[in-house]
Amino acid sequence: MRVSKVGLIGVVAAFAVLVAAETAPAQQSGSGSKVALVIGNATYPDDNKPLAEPVKDARAIADELKRDGFDVVVGEDLSKQKMRAAVDDFKVKIKPGAAALVFFSGYGIQTTKQSYLIPVDAQIWTEGEVKRDGISVESILSAMDSAGAAVKVVIVDAARRNPFERRFRGYSAGLASLNAPAGTLAIYSAAPDKVPGEASEGSSLFVTELLKEMRTANLSAEDVFNHARVNVSRASRNQQVPSVSSSLTETFSFSGAPPRPSAAEPRPSSPPEPRPSASVGPPPSSPPPERPKQPQPAKKEPPQQQAKREPPPAEPAKSPEEYNKRGRTYAVNGDYASAEADFSEAIRRKADYAEALNNRCWTRAVMGQQLEDAINDCDQAIRLRVDYADAFDSRGLAYLKQGRFDRAIGDFDAALRLRPKQASSLYGRGLAQLKKGQTGPGNADIAEAKRIDPGIVQEYEHYGVE
């Protein structure tokens, strides 16, 4: 929605592996086993004071994993020797086909395009000492893979600045893109090479949202990560946009229960979500939006991140709701053609599906193609739900891209009567007013939209509207 030198950040890395017995009969011997290593490193001599989040977050993650049936070992403020021993002991516990999860919270350093987890007694003054004292994420993944873990899941929280950066002539902020083996699911709390800002005192935003999703019933791990990505992005107003990638070949869930579609629409997975049914940049406490929005404009992503970006999982869809859900996942990841196809299939199966009509309207408006068809979709959605603020907002975008500014203003007005603080409608109305020469009210709307959602300008630029 949006080298190599050294960078240091607070990081949470988790590696999870789950294999369902039904889908992997050849690996029955370990398919029921779930083990986890959880480490929270907070007390680094080079820091002015202990980090507030790692130990608290590690304990919370450990408690949740225990509830999910994992055999969990917790380590706090581990030295290099103890961290290496913990990883070695953990490897021994992993049985072929088992679920294996590693969680690390503390500091991480990027060097030579790899990310290293840092023990509390590390003595780092040069890049060479990073490799000497740190443990690379890739090496832990390799150990998990060689032990027979069928699925590896990596979670990286990058929310702290490098306290050692003054020691290096140059450095790369954030963590490196992950070079992972097949069967890996990964989430970074921020895009590679990005540091979103200082962490809050207490639990990190990333871990807080991740735990909320882990406690939601009937979600696959990929849905957990995608939903957490959306919520973190929205809560931070696009200042922290997690990155998700997957090479999984099987569906896996933390609890082990098979994921199934819920009756309600699932929460999307990225900050600004497609406007229909989701206001732009709302506070994290707002109700789950009904349609996805790009977490960060795709054109803003660095080439390395684009290369690593994985398409959303193309799980089999049967019901209209499942097609709509999968379409939203495609839209979140910027694959609008696939999103439109799924929304169309949902509508074919359920002609009065207002949400899918609204989602297809928005998707077509964003693509800038079939704008009349987009308007017709929104017309139908509004006939089905006369108070559908998001559909008015979506149709307003289509009219704006057509240059029909009076109609755009009318639709944005209707959306704002229903949802007065919807930044997308304020910004869209402001642009339409400026196009008509209404400078005063146009600038006022745009200023208010920016106050509500600082990322709204980039979002509209991504839609091709400036």
pLDDT in tens, the chain (466 residues): 333 333 434 433 333 333 333 333 333 334 568 888 899 988 988 777 888 888 999 899 899 989 998 899 999 999 999 999 999 999 999 899 888 898 988 888 888 888 888 899 988 888 788 889 999 988 988 888 899 998 888 787 756 776 765 566 455 567 888 888 887 888 887 777 777 765 455 568 889 999 999 998 888 988 998 899 888 888 888 888 888 888 887 888 888 766 654 333 333 333 334 444 433 333 333 333 444 444 333 333 333 333 344 444 445 557 888 888 888 878 877 788 888 998 999 999 999 999 999 999 999 998 887 899 999 999 999 999 988 989 999 999 999 999 999 999 999 999 999 988 888 999 999 999 999 999 999 999 999 988 888 788 888 887 788 7
State the pLDDT at residue 411. 95
Report DSSP state, residue 452: H
Nearest to 177 by CA among 150, 205, 198, 158: 158
CB 309, CB 291: distance < 8 Å: no
Task: Kindly report, as residue ranges, where domains of CATH 3.40.50.1460 are found in the chain.
Answer: 7-246
State the pLDDT at residue 410. 95
Tokens 């060097």 sit at which residue? 111
Tokens 């933390």 sit at which residue? 254
| Coil vs helix vs strand at 243 | strand
Q: Where are the alpha helices (DSSP H) in 236-317?
A: 303-308
Q: Write out the E strands in 41-169.
A: 71-76, 99-111, 114-118, 135-136, 152-156
Could you say which of 1.25.40.10, 2.70.98.50, 3.20.20.150, 1.10.3720.10 is the CATH number of the domain covering 298-462?
1.25.40.10
pTM of the entire predicted model = 0.52
Report DSSP state, residue 312: P
State the pLDDT at residue 262. 38
| Coil vs helix vs strand at 38 | strand
State the pLDDT at residue 167. 64
State the pLDDT at residue 413. 94
**Distance between CA atoms of residues 340 and 327, nearest Å:** 7
Report DSSP state, residue 309: P
Domain topology for 7-246:
Rossmann fold (3.40.50)
Helix (H) or strand (E) holding 450: helix 439-452
What residues contact residue 49 under an 8 Å CB cut-off, 6+ apart? none
Classify each residue of 430-440 as buried b or exposed e, where b means 16 or more C-beta atoms within 10 Å of its C-beta: bbbbbeeebee
What is the widest separation between alpha-carbon atoms in the chain?
71
Helix (H) or strand (E) holding 155: strand 152-156
CB 217, CB 30: distance < 8 Å: no
**Distance between CA atoms of residues 324 and 151, nearest Å:** 27
User: Backbone phi, then psi, for 50, in 5-degree steps?
Assistant: -60, 150
State the pLDDT at residue 351. 93
Task: Kindly report, as residue ranges, where domains of CATH 1.25.40.10 are found in the chain.
Answer: 298-462
**Distance between CA atoms of residues 79 and 393, nearest Å:** 54
**Distance between CA atoms of residues 411 and 144, nearest Å:** 54
User: Backbone phi, then psi, for 155, in 5-degree steps?
Assistant: -125, 125
**Distance between CA atoms of residues 174 and 166, nearest Å:** 15
State the pLDDT at residue 16. 38
Start-to-end Cα distance in the chain? 16
